[in-house]
Structure 1
């Protein structure tokens, strides 16, 4: 089984040395389930590397809470607005389970990146992954294949079902909780 370091290294194509250099400059922080790491409307320039746990990025508009991403072990999580522009975040980031992460401020990360080409490329890769993730979310959101999107999501991140309320998973899939319940019931019936 891959450790969170190996997952991070492989996901962002970093050398072991670069990962260790980054971790040496990061602080380990612990979060409890439901802790808000980044609050919508607040500035947060930090980059987090999730060691344990599941986080979700979401926003609220017209009293509707919409999940736009989930992140788990070995993934980086951050507010793109704070990280790239030092502006207030348009999303909140919330812990869905107890967990640990490594944290570094944007300023410290920029200083570190100026001295290491491997870590300088990390910034580009973070943005590439962020753009791909958002584009995928937007494209699949209009898809009538909610069942397939659900199956892909739980195949890629099965631990979501243990830690994330179904209403947030439904929100991410752009369907109602009732539709998700019907999909899940259909899958159970199909397996039986």
Structure 2
């Protein structure tokens, strides 16, 4: 919980009362490697703060898994569009390692937003960061070739490149694993 509060404090200062209100809606959960936090076809009911571990977001198309994103410790994950709309999600969030997380339900979070301007502000800032991350990825994907995307990923997030299985990393870059191996040799 301390790391989560520190993360919130980076976004905006909050009083002990603000934090106490929020901490009452937080639930601690644990997942083993390969467990799913949510599966495609389900409606998302939670936002997760990953305290330890890493997860991937992926969808399946024509029998192939396509990795959309990877989330590591000290960051948030959710099938957010499903969380907002209550509609089933098209993708799965899966633990790539053992995961310790904190989660908060949609119902309790929305009630807290009605009670606390600070909580609502923190939620908006986290959503804005997720939007900027997604937009940046889309621009990279549309303007760079696979080698450029790999080099940029290597520069921005070497941990991702070192810890994610090649098949997941290749699908994230939109290429075959063999192509990724070739690019790695060239770089």
TM-score, normalised to structure 2's length?
0.85
- Provide the aligned length of Structure 1 versus Structure 2: 184
For residues 37 and 182 of structure 1, do their structure 2 counterparts lie closer, same or farther at Cα, with a shift above 3 Å needed?
same
Contact 1:6 1:74 in 2 (8 A): no
2:13 aligns with 15
Contact 2:14 2:118 in 1 (8 A): no
1:179 aligns with 179
Contact 2:44 2:80 in 1 (8 A): no
CA distance in 2, matches of 1:70, 1:137: 12
For residues 161 and 138 of structure 1, do their structure 2 counterparts lie closer, same or farther at Cα, with a shift above 3 Å needed?
closer
For residues 19 and 141 of structure 1, do their structure 2 counterparts lie closer, same or farther at Cα, with a shift above 3 Å needed?
farther
For residues 27 and 170 of structure 1, do their structure 2 counterparts lie closer, same or farther at Cα, with a shift above 3 Å needed?
same
CA distance in 2, matches of 1:55, 1:32: 11
Unaligned runs of 5+ in 2: none
1:164 aligns with 164
Structure 1 counterpart SS, 2:143: coil
Deviates more, 1:131-140 or 1:176-185: 131-140
Unaligned runs of 5+ in 1: 188-192
CA distance in 2, matches of 1:23, 1:173: 37
Give the 5 Å matches for 1:34-183: 34-183=34-183
For residues 140 and 21 of structure 1, do their structure 2 counterparts lie closer, same or farther at Cα, with a shift above 3 Å needed?
same
1:190 aligns with none
Give the 5 Å matches for 1:21-40: 21-40=21-40
TM-score, normalised to structure 1's length?
0.83
Structure 2 counterpart SS, 1:51: strand
Contact 1:54 1:160 in 2 (8 A): no
Query: RMSD across aligned C-alpha pairs, in angstroms?
Result: 2.3
For residues 98 and 79 of structure 1, do their structure 2 counterparts lie closer, same or farther at Cα, with a shift above 3 Å needed?
same
For residues 21 and 147 of structure 1, do their structure 2 counterparts lie closer, same or farther at Cα, with a shift above 3 Å needed?
farther
Structure 2 counterpart SS, 1:139: helix
Structure 2 counterpart SS, 1:69: strand
CA distance in 1, matches of 2:166, 2:19: 34
For residues 66 and 106 of structure 1, do their structure 2 counterparts lie closer, same or farther at Cα, with a shift above 3 Å needed?
same
Deviates more, 1:47-56 or 1:16-25: 16-25
